[in-house]
Structure 1
Amino acid sequence: MQGFYPILLFSIFVCSVSAKKMRWCTVSDPEQRKCAELAKALAAVVSPAILAAFARLSCIRAYSTTDCINRIKANRADIVTLDAGEIYSAVKQFDLVAIAKEIYSDGGCTLSVAVVRNNSLDIRSLQGRRSCHSGVRWTAGWSLPLGFLLSRNYLSWAKEHPLSQDVSTFFSASCIPGAGAMALPLCTLCQGLKSYIRQKNYHCETSHSEPFYNNQGALRCLRRGIGDVAFVDHLALETIEESERDEFRLLCSDGTQAPLSQHRSCNLGRGPGGGMVTRVNFRKVVRKFLATVQTLFGRQGRERQRFQLFSSSSFGENDLLFRDVTEKLVVLQDDIDVSQVLGLDYVALLKGLGHEGSSLEDSVIRWCCISYAEQKKCEQWALSIKSDPLVCVRAISMRDCIEKIKRDEVDAVSLDATHSFIAGKCGLVPVVTEYYGKNCVPAEGSTHLETDVFPSVVGLAVAKHSSRNIFIGNLGGRRSCHSNTYSPAGWLLPYRHSLSLANNSSSPCDPDKVYNEVFWKSCLPGSKGNLCKVCIGGTGETATKRCTENHNERYYGNMGALRCLVGDRSGKSYGDVAFLEQHSLHTNILGLNTTGWAEGWSSSDFELLCADGRRAPLSDWETCNLGVIPPNTVMTRPVLTARVYDFLMKSQEALAVNSNTEFRLFESHQYGESDLLFKDATQCFAHTSHMDYRSILGEEFYTHADTVFNCTHSDILEFCNQDVCSIF
């Protein structure tokens, strides 16, 4: 019975492959030897009768991974293992398919780390240094570190020429295997054999015959003192002996250094691990082949004493055929898109780095608009500036904007604090923060406002002066008006207070459930059921079904919540209490008249409901409010930070200089709404791309939002969490 299992397994396999040969592409002599040993091991566990029907594994020697990709495309090889960045190129440019992914001990992804031996270096002082990289377009050796350097503006990239050109001038010298065709200076530190014969030239190639190839090669480059910094993934750190670990340090994103053990907190980003590719018409064969060899020779394989699939130690090199730290292979199903294999964030990063070449999109900024009114203002903005072209892209909500940015369908949007929290969790990063203070003058020697102190706004509960019997604490059974779902003032803050006698500290931590329990009915745009029954939808060009999460719903936003409190022209569809932000409140009350919504209303017609049960005039908002709210922040994908920032600064400066233009970036009343694109209370932009979104929000607000979303279902966070890149 002992030999029955592999014979049965291969009987099934042979019938399905129709005696097709499996040709594995190797990129060095050690890898060729390991492949040959795998072929022998397969032959040893399969009877001669079955071998007659099964054309055995053969090993095709190539001179680089690029050569392997070309051979597979031309049907001169069938399979090769690649870094995630190379997988993307193989799929997009050569029409190959990803067939399997490597899974490591802590997940299917890797962290990019910058390793040094010089205690005086930091991540901000790498210009002019010598660099060692695992490979060109590799996740940890190229894409993630360059994406980080670009996002912090430490590395400048003029889009009129390739990124490789600016990288070659940023570092004084480099070894980036595979970069020879891009820019020769990126290969000056490499030490592979040079030859005029293409197949014998290993200098700067993605082959183990280049001593500084892959993660181990980049560390070798650093060890020998050839380079000052090595960009590798965190898995490579496991190969550094305990006796020499104190010689190395990691460069952290905040400018500090840390020991190798702190790679989880000290890294330049995360990305997908390696995987295998093949031709589309060969994927079924390869899928079954990989499943078979893993069953026989994997970590738990029946024949692992004969051959170890994920070990290269006996061949004098590391990471042959697969990464040695691979725990298992996950074989992928048909019709899976490359963005599902590699993750939306990573694919968007590669596009931003020019992996698909330049396009018209590289020269424009795509701004996300959530309503007809925002679209009109955005288009006017585009006509009023002479910087990079602005394209206005329509979405249906702030949540939709976040998803579109992740999908690389738009580039940027200004988000309130709660949506900034969500965007940060989804991998987006800050560019600028709206500044509501009066002093927008930058510090001496600076061209922009940079501050760690942001004037905040507060959340308010507002009732009509005439409704004398309404207080915080007796709102049960009332009608409520909320600016919109997930808004800080309209959704996140109110539920924390005892809105009614039935609403106390034992109430659910899901705000929607609290509001459903407390109020008779509401208008909370973006919600459903009773929480939408007070909403009225839009009219004319903005006609929509009611409760949409944008300005097309007339009760959306701070102005909308105020309109909801006043009621429509018929005197119906109104609320008893409105939850909104204090900024622009007086302006919005005046706007009730000017926009033809309601006439005769003044600030004295409204009062604040204080958290302690008191009522107070609107002027007492500093002492009578529901909590402090961080400012809005413009968010984008990491690689676009510098470009979006430059665009916003040019816009701000151009519009400030040209005072004759009718367009005002921080005014919305002429479009019949308030807070379009940016809050009307904004005075200028504060530079915050060097800050983490958590720092901008502040620890108290961040912790509160985190607690709420831990017990509240969120489609957008669920969408973001589907990204394949996770470190357990």
Structure 2
Amino acid sequence: MMKTVILIVLITFSLLASGKKFRWCTLSDLEQRKCAELSKALTAVLPLTTASSFTRISCIRAHNTYDCIDKIRANKADAASLDAGDVYSAVKLYGLAVVAKEIYDQGNCVFAVAIAKRGTLDIQSLRGVRSCHNGARWTSGWNIPLGFLLARNYLSWDEAQPLSQAISEYFNASCIPGVGLAAPRLCALCQGQKSYVRDRNHFCETSNNEPFYDSEGAFRCLKDGVADVAFLDHLRIMSATDSEQQEYELLCPDGSTAELTEYSTCNLGKGPGRGIVTRSNFQKITNKFLSMIQRLFGHKGKERDRFELFSSASFGGKNLLFRDATQHLQLLEEQLEIAYVLGLDYVALLKGLGHEGSSLDNSVVRWCCISDAELRKCEEWALNIKSDPLVCVQATSMTKCIEMIKSSEADAVTLDATHVYIAGRCGLVPVAAECYGGDCAPAAETMEKTGKLSNLKHKALPPVYAVALAKKSAKQIHIHNLRGRRSCHSHLYSPGGWLLLSRHTVGAQQNDTENCDIASAYQNYFWKGCMPGADGNLCKVCIGGGEVEGARVSSRCAANHNEHYYGNMGALRCLVGNPSGRSFGDVAFLEHSNLLQNIEDLGSSGWAKGYTPLDFELLCPDGTRAAVTEWAGCNLGPIPPSAVMTRPVTVTKISDFLLKSQESLGSKLDSEFQLFQSWKYGESDLLFKDTAQYLVHASHLSYQDILGESFMQLAESVFNCTPAGILDFCKQDICAFSSN
């Protein structure tokens, strides 16, 4: 197979070298003119250069963008510049390859903006208005705005129906070039010429012959009074005239409006701009061609006086062949996975919007489980639920779950506060938060009356406290002399056993740059310990999961329940040692909420006999000790509630699913399956905390709202200095899809 591809490339290249034309696909007469001028300029300068592979360019006129894709596939054209939404379709559905990206002032990304006449609309009141969009399935006119409307539940979509039908029912009438014949109302406002002859029909087409095509056309549609709102990219309004700025405004996600110049803070999200596609066996040649024309005619081109590649003014149009805002073309490596070209968030969004057609994934909820015990509980949940089908997906840790949700391999997971911070930084959003204690009764009452998850007011939620626990018999231990001791932590990045703990231990040396990275500082601070998910000294006390089906499981120090010392129960087990009395720590860092129950479970589970709450004491920040029941006055700080996180586009689906689960399975004692109980699976806090009374609706809040200012500040300062592989994974995304 590889030899065949190489042979095809060599034959194709030799044909080009012998004078065969490079064929660029154009979408209008104006693009044809610019393309012809490029060909003329290239012919004029090539003899003066060393690059003689491309003697001529041929300009292939296409009917619309999908006609371009067809022509490239059929070897009737070689390349075209397309919106990122069409690039994705070209690669995933038609087998083409992306070879380059347009780079603008702020990289390859564009802000998706909604524009209206001053004082007429806000983003929450778009139902029933007339709309114009730059293109169907395009980044700023379709994908990001619809993802935003779905995430906020302004737009309802039953995934059994086409998305275009849901949009038809939402807007009064629209012009969305390229949407096709399935939804006539979405073309009702378009003004392209109609004809039964295909090449003369430009109505609602992705071609410059449709007056309302592209961002320029969508804005024109608004200015002509045909529509009430226009969805386009920020590149168009960067060049807005004074009169346009006075007459129109941006619609912001929070319901306010802003000046057109404020697109970087008032937008519906950010996504990739345009890319250049070709056939897979033609990538090297196309790359060489793009490199050459950019070197000659780009912004720093040697022959820029003769022809300007990224300007359309002299041809009487805009954005011809390439966006006029393009600063340069970034050439890409061959065989690069499309998710790394367009961004993980963007590709996950496109899958959520059904760009690859309907699939089983669209109809199920895929819950991320981090251990065998969680998987068993999840499978029982799936058997008992009376709602959307639940599929249980297994990962190895909470950070792996975040990665899988971001990559659209899973849909939802419950995360502790530190992991909520990490997930938020990775573009995930909250759906619901856990509520602990008696104060959750009003939430339960609200749901029973209204049939909805009650709204979360995070300040009203009772906190969980981080505590340090030692055996009462170890009198010499207090919070200020823990250096060099054996430590037990629920897991790496845990709110109580990692983040808040830093304030009372390694955080004391914050001015010491050597200890700025708290993950490394802990390694030097404690003699050894068990911090599941860490490495080095902090794995030496861990014991793994024992024998499973006769084979030793490689679960030692794993960041999940397969490690017996994982979590709140695990840290307590670590403090008392394994059943043989070995592998124990001097101090355990855990949460107060189910501490008394876990101490009781030590005996009932057969782990360690004879322990009662009187055998342990809390270590207080002032150096004193207190009884385990005095956590309110002796703790390391409050911990925000755990929250269910998902991708923005799946918020409504997960919220509906949790509502139905809670209605039928919540904490009803007569139910065979208990959502907030884990004892029957041999562990604690599986899928949700056992102390959770209720899930409260939180999709109207940001992750920052849920975590609160104090926790956010601590997390920011720590992660700005402490490396985390999951944040590096998320950072590689070219532009995060997240609404402001």
Q: TM-score band (shorter)?
A: over 0.9
> Which amino acid in structure 2 is aligned with residue 259 of structure 1?
E
Rounded Cα–Cα distance in structure 1 between residues aligned with 2:363 and 2:535: 40
**TM, length-normalised to structure 2:** 0.94
Structural mapping, 1:512-591, within 5 Å:
512-541=519-548, 543-591=553-601
- 1:327 — aligned with what? 327
SS of 1:94's equivalent?
A: coil
- 1:606 — aligned with what? 616
- 1:81 — aligned with what? 81
> Which amino acid in structure 2 is aligned with residue 188 of structure 1?
A
> Is the CA contact (8 Å cut-off) linking 1:589 and 1:603 kept in structure 2?
yes
* Structure 2 residues without counterparts, runs of 5 or longer: 1-12
SS of 2:711's equivalent?
A: helix
Matched, 1:448 2:450: no
> Is the CA contact (8 Å cut-off) linking 1:475 and 1:499 kept in structure 2?
no
> Is the CA contact (8 Å cut-off) linking 2:22 and 2:54 kept in structure 1?
no
> 1:230 and 1:659, CA in 2 relative to 1: closer, same or farther beyond 3 A?
same
Offset of 1:519 from its aligned partner?
1.3
- 2:440 — aligned with what? 438
Rounded Cα–Cα distance in structure 2 between residues aligned with 1:657 and 1:561: 26
Offset of 1:15 from its aligned partner?
9.2
520-529 or 176-185: bigger deviation: 176-185
Rounded Cα–Cα distance in structure 2 between residues aligned with 1:530 and 1:479: 10
> Which amino acid in structure 2 is aligned with residue 482 of structure 1?
H
- 1:476 — aligned with what? 483
139-148 or 539-548: bigger deviation: 539-548
> Is the CA contact (8 Å cut-off) linking 2:506 and 2:518 kept in structure 1?
no
> Which amino acid in structure 1 is aligned with residue 334 of structure 2?
D
> Is the CA contact (8 Å cut-off) linking 2:501 and 2:636 kept in structure 1?
yes
Rounded Cα–Cα distance in structure 1 between residues aligned with 2:95 and 2:319: 26
Offset of 1:376 from its aligned partner?
0.5
Matched, 1:356 2:356: yes
Offset of 1:510 from its aligned partner?
2.2
Rounded Cα–Cα distance in structure 2 between residues aligned with 1:469 and 1:282: 73
Rounded Cα–Cα distance in structure 1 between residues aligned with 2:17 and 2:659: 60
Percent sequence identity is: 57
Offset of 1:647 from its aligned partner?
0.7
Rounded Cα–Cα distance in structure 2 between residues aligned with 1:159 and 1:410: 17
> 1:527 and 1:332, CA in 2 relative to 1: closer, same or farther beyond 3 A?
same
What CA deviation, in whole Å up to 9, does each residue of 1:261-284 have, x standing for no partner?
221221111111101101112221
Offset of 1:657 from its aligned partner?
9.4
Matched, 1:724 2:734: yes
Structural mapping, 1:3-152, within 5 Å:
17-47=17-47, 54-152=54-152
What CA deviation, in whole Å up to 9, does each residue of 1:512-556 have, x standing for no partner?
222222211111000111111111111233833411110010000
Structural mapping, 1:283-362, within 5 Å:
283-362=283-362
> Is the CA contact (8 Å cut-off) linking 2:431 and 2:654 kept in structure 1?
yes
- 1:175 — aligned with what? 175
Rounded Cα–Cα distance in structure 2 between residues aligned with 1:400 and 1:309: 44
- 1:191 — aligned with what? 191
> Which amino acid in structure 2 is aligned with residue 429 of structure 1?
V
SS of 1:473's equivalent?
A: helix
> 1:531 and 1:54, CA in 2 relative to 1: closer, same or farther beyond 3 A?
closer
> Which amino acid in structure 1 is aligned with residue 181 of structure 2?
A
Rounded Cα–Cα distance in structure 2 between residues aligned with 1:491 and 1:546: 19
Offset of 1:361 from its aligned partner?
1.2
- 1:462 — aligned with what? 469
504-513 or 521-530: bigger deviation: 504-513
> Is the CA contact (8 Å cut-off) linking 1:498 and 1:504 kept in structure 2?
no
- 2:6 — aligned with what? none
> Is the CA contact (8 Å cut-off) linking 1:144 and 1:269 kept in structure 2?
yes
> 1:640 and 1:612, CA in 2 relative to 1: closer, same or farther beyond 3 A?
same
- 2:642 — aligned with what? 632
- 2:223 — aligned with what? 223
Rounded Cα–Cα distance in structure 2 between residues aligned with 1:659 and 1:619: 27
> 1:504 and 1:329, CA in 2 relative to 1: closer, same or farther beyond 3 A?
closer
> 1:307 and 1:529, CA in 2 relative to 1: closer, same or farther beyond 3 A?
same
Rounded Cα–Cα distance in structure 1 between residues aligned with 2:50 and 2:581: 85
> 1:430 and 1:499, CA in 2 relative to 1: closer, same or farther beyond 3 A?
closer
SS of 1:36's equivalent?
A: helix
> Which amino acid in structure 2 is aligned with residue 315 of structure 1?
F
Matched, 1:595 2:595: no
Offset of 1:614 from its aligned partner?
1.1
SS of 2:167's equivalent?
A: helix
**TM, length-normalised to structure 1:** 0.95
Rounded Cα–Cα distance in structure 2 between residues aligned with 1:626 and 1:53: 69
Structural mapping, 1:358-507, within 5 Å:
358-436=358-436, 437-439=439-441, 440=443, 441-442=445-446, 447-453=452-458, 454-498=461-505, 506=512
> Is the CA contact (8 Å cut-off) linking 2:478 and 2:619 kept in structure 1?
yes
SS of 2:46's equivalent?
A: coil
SS of 1:442's equivalent?
A: helix
> 1:446 and 1:321, CA in 2 relative to 1: closer, same or farther beyond 3 A?
same
Rounded Cα–Cα distance in structure 2 between residues aligned with 1:697 and 1:499: 22
> 1:656 and 1:423, CA in 2 relative to 1: closer, same or farther beyond 3 A?
closer
SS of 2:72's equivalent?
A: helix
SS of 1:551's equivalent?
A: coil
Rounded Cα–Cα distance in structure 1 between residues aligned with 2:667 and 2:614: 38
> 1:214 and 1:572, CA in 2 relative to 1: closer, same or farther beyond 3 A?
same
Offset of 1:570 from its aligned partner?
1.9
Offset of 1:511 from its aligned partner?
2.2
Rounded Cα–Cα distance in structure 2 between residues aligned with 1:99 and 1:379: 43
Offset of 1:658 from its aligned partner?
6.9
Structural mapping, 1:145-294, within 5 Å:
145-294=145-294
- 2:711 — aligned with what? 701
Rounded Cα–Cα distance in structure 2 between residues aligned with 1:505 and 1:287: 50
> 1:53 and 1:261, CA in 2 relative to 1: closer, same or farther beyond 3 A?
closer
Rounded Cα–Cα distance in structure 2 between residues aligned with 1:257 and 1:203: 32
Rounded Cα–Cα distance in structure 2 between residues aligned with 1:77 and 1:51: 22
Rounded Cα–Cα distance in structure 1 between residues aligned with 2:509 and 2:72: 65
> Which amino acid in structure 1 is aligned with residue 286 of structure 2?
V
What CA deviation, in whole Å up to 9, does each residue of 1:128-177 have, x standing for no partner?
01111000000000000000111111100011111011001100010000
Rounded Cα–Cα distance in structure 1 between residues aligned with 2:697 and 2:125: 21
Rounded Cα–Cα distance in structure 1 between residues aligned with 2:102 and 2:736: 13
Aligned residue pairs: how many? Answer: 714
What CA deviation, in whole Å up to 9, does each residue of 1:309-344 have, x standing for no partner?
000111222110000000000111211111111111
Rounded Cα–Cα distance in structure 1 between residues aligned with 2:574 and 2:656: 39
Rounded Cα–Cα distance in structure 1 between residues aligned with 2:46 and 2:578: 81
> 1:386 and 1:393, CA in 2 relative to 1: closer, same or farther beyond 3 A?
same
- 2:675 — aligned with what? 665
> Which amino acid in structure 2 is aligned with residue 709 of structure 1?
F
> 1:616 and 1:315, CA in 2 relative to 1: closer, same or farther beyond 3 A?
same
> Which amino acid in structure 2 is aligned with residue 471 of structure 1?
H
> Is the CA contact (8 Å cut-off) linking 1:473 and 1:499 kept in structure 2?
no
Rounded Cα–Cα distance in structure 2 between residues aligned with 1:53 and 1:570: 76
SS of 1:145's equivalent?
A: helix
Runs (4+) off by over 4 Å: 13-16, 48-55, 443-446, 502-505, 656-659
SS of 1:191's equivalent?
A: coil
Rounded Cα–Cα distance in structure 2 between residues aligned with 1:85 and 1:574: 55
SS of 2:288's equivalent?
A: helix
Rounded Cα–Cα distance in structure 2 between residues aligned with 1:381 and 1:166: 31
Rounded Cα–Cα distance in structure 2 between residues aligned with 1:229 and 1:420: 35
